[in-house]
Structure 1
Amino acid sequence: MTSTPPEHLLEMSRRNVLRAVGAGAAATAATGALSACAGGDSGSGGARQFTGVFDFDLDSNTRNVAVEDGALLLNSVYKDLFLMTGGFYNWREHTWDYMLLEGSEWDGNDLVVTLRPGLKWSDGSDLTADDMIQSYAIAILEVAPWAVGFPQVAELEKLDDLSVRLGFDAPFPNIERSIIKHRIVARSTYAEFGERALDLVGSGVRHGDDEQSEFIAEFVEFAPEEIVCSGPYMFDPEQMSDARITLVRNENGYQGGEVLFDEVVVHKGDNRQSALLVQQREVDYSTEAPSAADQQAFQGVEGFKWVEHVGYDGCGLMFNYAAKPELEDVRVRKALAHLLDTETIGQVARGEAYSGVEYYAGLVDLQAEEIMTEEELAGFEHYGYNPDRATELLEDAGWTLSDGIWHLPDGEAASYEIIGVAGWGDFELTASQVEEAWNSFGIRCEARNVPSDNPWGIWGAGDFEVAVRHWGNPEIPDYWGAFQMNFLLENSGDEDNPGQSFDLNVDSPSQGEVDVAELIEEAKRAGTEEEQHAALKRLAIIFNELLPRIPIWTYRYLAPAIEGVRVEHFAADHPAANNEQYQDNHVILSLIQGDLRPVE
Structure 2
Amino acid sequence: MKRFLTMGLSLLLVLSLLSGCGGNQASKTEEDTNTPTKETSKDNTKETSTTPTDTGSTVEQKIVFALHDVPDGLDPIVTNNSFAMPFLDNCFEGLVTSNANNELVPALAESWTVSEDGKTYTFTLRDGLKWSDGSPLTSADFMYSFERTLKPETASQNVNMITNYVLNAQACYEGTVPFDQVGFKAPDEKTLVIELTSPTSFFIDLVSLHVYDPLNKATIEANGDKWTLSADTYVVNGPFKITKLNLNEATVLTKNENYWDAANVTLEEVTFRMIKDQATALIAFDSNEIDGMRSVPMADFARLKAESNDLHIMPTYATSYYLINTQKPPYDNVLVRKALNLAVDRKSLIENVLQSSDLPAHALLGPGYVVNGKDYIEGRSDYGISDTANVEEARKALAEAGYPDGKGFPTLQLSYYTSPQVKLIAEALAQMFKENLNINVEISNSEWAVYYDDVQAMKYEVAAMGAGADFMHPMTFLPSFMSNDYLNNTGYANPVYDAKVNEIKSELDPEKALTLIREAEDIMMADYPFLPMYHRSSSLMMKDYVKGWSLSPLSQLSFKYAKVVK
Both structures adopt the same fold (TM-score exceeding 0.5): yes
Instruction: Report the equivalent of 2:127.
Output: 117
Matched pairs, number: 480
Match of 1:453 among 426, 440, 449: 449
Q: Structure 1 residues 175 and 484, CA, compared in 2 at 3 Å: closer, same or farther?
A: same
Contact 2:72 2:84 in 1 (8 A): no
Cα deviation for residue 263 of structure 1 reads 0.5
Percent identity, aligned pairs only, is 15
Contact 2:317 2:367 in 1 (8 A): no
1:377 aligns with 2:384: no
Mapped partners of 1:240, 1:224: distance in 2: 9
1:312 partner letter = Y
Mapped partners of 1:223, 1:311: distance in 2: 29
Contact 1:291 1:351 in 2 (8 A): no
Correspondence 1:56-135 to 2 at 5 A: 57=70, 62=73, 64-68=75-79, 75-89=84-98, 95-108=103-116, 109-135=119-145
Match of 2:273 among 238, 249, 267: 267
**Uncovered stretches (5+) of structure 2, i.e. residues with no partner:** 1-57, 168-181
Cα deviation for residue 242 of structure 1 reads 4.1
1:160 aligns with 2:188: yes
SS at match of 2:97: strand
Correspondence 1:166-245 to 2 at 5 A: 166-181=194-209, 182-190=212-220, 225=230, 226-237=233-244, 240=246, 242-245=248-251
Instruction: Report the equivalent of 1:319.
Output: 324
The TM-score with structure 1 as length reference comes to: 0.72
SS at match of 1:310: strand
1:534 aligns with 2:542: no
Mapped partners of 2:478, 2:488: distance in 1: 18
1:50 aligns with 2:63: yes
Correspondence 1:338-377 to 2 at 5 A: 338-357=342-361, 360-367=362-369, 370=374, 376-377=379-380
Cα deviation for residue 388 of structure 1 reads 2.5
SS at match of 2:253: strand
The TM-score with structure 2 as length reference comes to: 0.75
1:442-469 superposed Cα distances (whole Å, 9 cap, x missing partner): 2111222221235443322212110112
Match of 2:291 among 281, 284, 291: 284
What CA RMSD, in Å, does the superposition of the two structures yield over aligned residues?
Answer: 3.3
2:287 partner letter = Q
Contact 2:145 2:215 in 1 (8 A): yes
Q: Structure 1 residues 241 and 66, CA, compared in 2 at 3 Å: closer, same or farther?
A: closer
Contact 2:227 2:234 in 1 (8 A): no
Mapped partners of 2:368, 2:142: distance in 1: 36
Correspondence 1:349-498 to 2 at 5 A: 349-357=353-361, 360-367=362-369, 370=374, 376-377=379-380, 380-383=383-386, 384-401=388-405, 406-408=406-408, 413-423=409-419, 425-441=420-436, 442-453=438-449, 455-470=451-466, 474-485=469-480, 487-488=481-482, 492=484
1:386 partner letter = N
1:432 partner letter = E
1:399-453 superposed Cα distances (whole Å, 9 cap, x missing partner): 134xxxx224xxxx42111111113x44322212111222334211122222123
Highest RCO, 1 vs 2 (Cα 8 Å, sep ≥ 6): 2
Cα deviation for residue 533 of structure 1 reads 2.0
Contact 1:460 1:499 in 2 (8 A): yes
Match of 2:503 among 522, 527, 530: 522
Larger radius of gyration: 1
Mapped partners of 2:222, 2:503: distance in 1: 39
Match of 1:148 among 161, 164, 167: 161
Contact 2:184 2:193 in 1 (8 A): yes
Instruction: Report the equivalent of 2:493.
Output: 503
Instruction: Report the equivalent of 1:554.
Output: 535
SS at match of 2:188: coil
Mapped partners of 1:176, 1:113: distance in 2: 11
Contact 2:497 2:524 in 1 (8 A): no
1:111 partner letter = Y
1:536 partner letter = I
Cα deviation for residue 503 of structure 1 reads 2.6
Q: Structure 1 residues 430 and 560, CA, compared in 2 at 3 Å: closer, same or farther?
A: same
Which has a greater percent of helix?
1
**Uncovered stretches (5+) of structure 1, i.e. residues with no partner:** 1-44, 194-218, 506-514
Contact 2:94 2:213 in 1 (8 A): yes
